[in-house]
């Protein structure tokens, strides 16, 4: 069946215009004014609404073993994402020690398959880089996984050393894969944590005390230098404040292919949340930690001037009861992470577009188009164009709501953004032409979402000399 979306105000990263969109065979087949209504055609009236490309969240941790427990599952989080206007996530799969990269990916594939309301891909977190792991990188890129993640923090668990970062960058560069990095100095954090605990500083607030911005700034600079030595592009995830952003700005000014994202919680919440009584500060424990208010301004500036290219949610959702509570009496045992998969787009619309910090086009660029380009999904996804997947979000700017755990769809017992007033409502969502949200209600079926094979040599390779892209065997 064909679907015709009539009279919506289409917003891409470059344009805003009123037109009709015809959907056929999961894709956009025509865009134009006064497109004729044919027989056997579903017609959707989008008059007065914006039509956005489906939002792409390049940073999620769904149903992920992490910090001694497991994050909220695909069956809830993917529906929450859909209701918030996100139609594709690229989730962080993790290699376990002793495992191949493919084994890690397969474990994530099994959990997502048949359980996701939206399309998905995976990055693979490298935790154990042996010579056979390095050799495996071309094969995982062939499987549609052209993005790898390296953690410079979480010493007891995921952290790797600088040699591993170097070798991952080197092997990835040969096949056009992109390395993403969690930049915090895990060795120094480990010492600072011990010092806090020795002094009896066990409450959630000391999570932030033990991870001052300098540990992020240092690791950001080190990762950039290592990427520079290798001559590889690098993507820095969840930049939390001014000094690390400045390191990225300086690297870009030198012409280095360094790219980075921030996340809603670093833009809208502060370190003060961690001081909430009755252990409630634990709800806001994430890494890097929330920072002081002054960093908000620095991050907005970095988004505006192109230092930061994207806003991922870093959705890593743990319940307060039974999960965050694991760290009562010892903040180092609080599982790190918060929510954002459902609210990323509407929060940014309300508190960035409506306030004049970002244009509508920039919003689409940061939340959809650039994530698609960086992650090898463009132009299949990330824009509204003939031939692109019909992943579309109809947004009613006249709607209003207040974020609350009572009405959020994430499988969680609290919401980091509780009480935030939201302008506009995601009214309808189409995933490859299939309507999965209607009048702000989920009407899809779990399993509508499909694994997306992604291409290597994405946006971050744009400035790399073409000679460097020729595989060494040629
Ligand atoms: O606290 C966070 N960010 N948890 C998720 C894992 C990570 O470091 O991205
Ligand atoms: Zn991280
Ligand atoms: Zn993360
Ligand atoms: Zn509902």
Whether residue 286 has its Cβ less than 6 Å from ligand 1: yes
Interatomic CA distance for residues 363 and 348, integer angstroms: 7
Q: What is the DSSP string of 235-271?
A: EE----SHHHHHHHHHHHHTT--EEEEE-HHHHH--G
Query: In 54-116, which ranges are continuous DSSP H helix?
Result: 74-83, 101-112
On whether the CB atoms of residues 23 and 3 are closer than 8 A, the answer is yes
Element holding 168 (H helix, E strand): helix 162-174
Interatomic CA distance for residues 280 and 426, integer angstroms: 30
In tens, the pLDDT along 408-433 reads 999 999 999 999 999 999 999 999 99
Q: Which residues of 131-165 are buried (b: 16+ CB within 10 A; e: fewer)?
A: eebbebbbebbebbbbbbbbbbbbbeebbbeeebb
Element holding 218 (H helix, E strand): helix 213-230
User: Beta partners for 23?
Assistant: 3, 28
Instruction: Indicate the average pLDDT of the chain.
Output: 97
Whether residue 339 has its Cβ less than 6 Å from ligand 1: no
Q: Is the peptide bond before 288 cis (omega within 30 degrees of 0)?
A: yes
In tens, the pLDDT along 350-394 reads 999 999 999 999 999 999 999 999 999 999 999 999 999 999 999
Query: Residue 344: is its pLDDT beyond 70?
Result: yes
Query: Residue 313: is its pLDDT beyond 50?
Result: yes
Interatomic CA distance for residues 98 and 119, integer angstroms: 29
Whether residue 314 has its Cβ less than 6 Å from ligand 1: yes
The closest residue, in CA terms, to atom 3 on ligand 1 is 287
Whether residue 337 has its Cβ less than 6 Å from ligand 1: yes
The domains of the chain, with CATH numbers, are 53-379+455-460 (3.20.20.140)
pLDDT category of residue 464 using cuts at 50, 70 and 90? confident
Ligand nearest to the Cα of 157, by number: 1
pLDDT category of residue 469 using cuts at 50, 70 and 90? low
pLDDT reported for residue 295: 98
On whether the CB atoms of residues 265 and 286 are closer than 8 A, the answer is yes
Chain length of the chain: 474
The mean pLDDT of 233-240, rounded to a whole number, is: 98
pLDDT category of residue 474 using cuts at 50, 70 and 90? very low
Query: Residue 470: is its pLDDT beyond 70?
Result: no
Count of Cβ atoms closer than 10 Å to residue 263 Cβ: 26
pLDDT reported for residue 463: 84
pLDDT category of residue 292 using cuts at 50, 70 and 90? very high
Query: Residue 252: is its pLDDT beyond 50?
Result: yes
DSSP annotation of 49: -
- What are the distances in angstroms from CA 411 to CA 76, 231, 315, 339, 442? 5, 42, 12, 10, 15
Element holding 19 (H helix, E strand): strand 16-24
Whether residue 324 has its Cβ less than 6 Å from ligand 1: no
On whether the CB atoms of residues 261 and 232 are closer than 8 A, the answer is no
The residue to mutate among 314, 323, 335, having the most atoms of ligand 1 within 8 angstroms of its beta carbon, is 314
Interatomic CA distance for residues 30 and 243, integer angstroms: 46
On whether the CB atoms of residues 110 and 79 are closer than 8 A, the answer is no
The mean pLDDT of 86-114, rounded to a whole number, is: 98
Question: What residues does the ion ligand 2 have nearby, CB within 5 Å?
Answer: 182
Query: Residue 52: is its pLDDT beyond 80?
Result: yes
Cα(182) to centroid(ligand 1), Å: 8
On whether the CB atoms of residues 156 and 194 are closer than 8 A, the answer is no
In tens, the pLDDT along 132-172 reads 999 999 999 999 999 999 999 999 999 999 999 999 999 99
pLDDT category of residue 465 using cuts at 50, 70 and 90? low
Query: In 278-414, which ranges are continuous DSSP H helix?
Result: 294-304, 344-348, 360-364, 370-374
Query: Residue 473: is its pLDDT beyond 80?
Result: no
- What are the distances in angstroms from CA 24 to CA 27, 175, 387, 390? 5, 34, 10, 8
**Residue 80 burial (CB < 10 Å; 0-12/13-18/19+)?**
buried
Whether residue 350 has its Cβ less than 6 Å from ligand 1: no
pLDDT reported for residue 197: 98
The closest residue, in CA terms, to atom 7 on ligand 1 is 287
């Amino acid at each position: 069946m064909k679907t015709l979306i009539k009279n919506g105000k289409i917003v891409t990263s470059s344009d805003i215009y009123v037109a009709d969109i015809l959907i056929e065979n999961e894709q956009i087949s025509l865009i134009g004014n006064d497109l004729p209504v044919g027989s056997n055609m579903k017609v959707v009236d989008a008059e007065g609404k914006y039509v956005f490309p489906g939002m792409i969240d390049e940073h999620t941790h769904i149903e992920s073993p992490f910090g001694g427990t497991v994050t909220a599952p695909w069956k809830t989080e993917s529906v929450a994402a859909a209701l918030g206007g996100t139609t594709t996530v690229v989730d962080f799969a993790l290699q376990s020690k002793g495992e191949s990269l493919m084994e890690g990916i397969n474990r994530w594939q099994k959990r997502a398959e048949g359980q996701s309301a939206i399309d998905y891909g995976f990055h693979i977190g490298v935790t154990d880089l042996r010579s056979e792991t390095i050799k495996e990188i071309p094969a995982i890129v062939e499987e549609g996984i052209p993005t790898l993640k390296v953690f410079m923090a979480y010493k007891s668990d995921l952290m790797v050393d600088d040699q591993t970062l170097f070798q991952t960058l080197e092997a990835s560069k040969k096949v056009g894969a992109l390395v993403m990095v969690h930049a915090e100095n895990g060795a120094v954090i480990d010492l600072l944590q011990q010092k806090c605990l020795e002094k009896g500083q066990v409450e959630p607030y000391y999570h932030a005390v033990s991870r001052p911005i300098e540990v992020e700034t240092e690791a950001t600079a080190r990762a950039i230098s290592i990427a520079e030595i290798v001559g590889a592009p690098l993507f820095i995830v969840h930049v939390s404040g001014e000094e690390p952003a400045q390191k990225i700005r300086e690297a870009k000014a030198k012409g280095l292919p360094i790219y980075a994202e921030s996340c809603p919680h670093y833009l809208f919440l502060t370190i003060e949340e961690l001081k909430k009584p009755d252990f409630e500060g634990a709800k806001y424990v994430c890494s890097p930690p929330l920072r002081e208010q002054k960093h908000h301004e620095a991050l907005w500036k970095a988004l505006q001037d192109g230092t930061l290219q994207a806003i991922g949610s870093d959705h890593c959702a743990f319940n307060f009861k039974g999960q965050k509570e694991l760290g009562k009496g010892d903040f180092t045992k609080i599982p790190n992470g918060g929510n954002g998969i459902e609210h990323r787009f509407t929060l940014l619309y309300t508190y960035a577009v409506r306030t004049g910090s970002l244009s509508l086009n920039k919003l689409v660029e940061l939340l959809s188009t650039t994530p698609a380009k960086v992650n090898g999904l463009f132009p299949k996804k990330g824009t509204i164009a003939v031939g692109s997947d019909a992943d579309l979000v109809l947004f009613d700017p006249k709607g209003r709501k207040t974020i609350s755990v009572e009405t959020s769809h994430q499988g969680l017992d609290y919401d980091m953004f509780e009480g935030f007033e939201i302008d506009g409502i995601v009214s309808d969502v189409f995933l490859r032409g299939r309507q999965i949200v209607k009048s702000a209600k989920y009407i899809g079926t779990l399993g509508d979402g499909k694994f997306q094979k992604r291409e290597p040599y994405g946006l971050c390779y744009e400035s790399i000399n073409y000679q460097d892209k020729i595989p060494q065997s040629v």
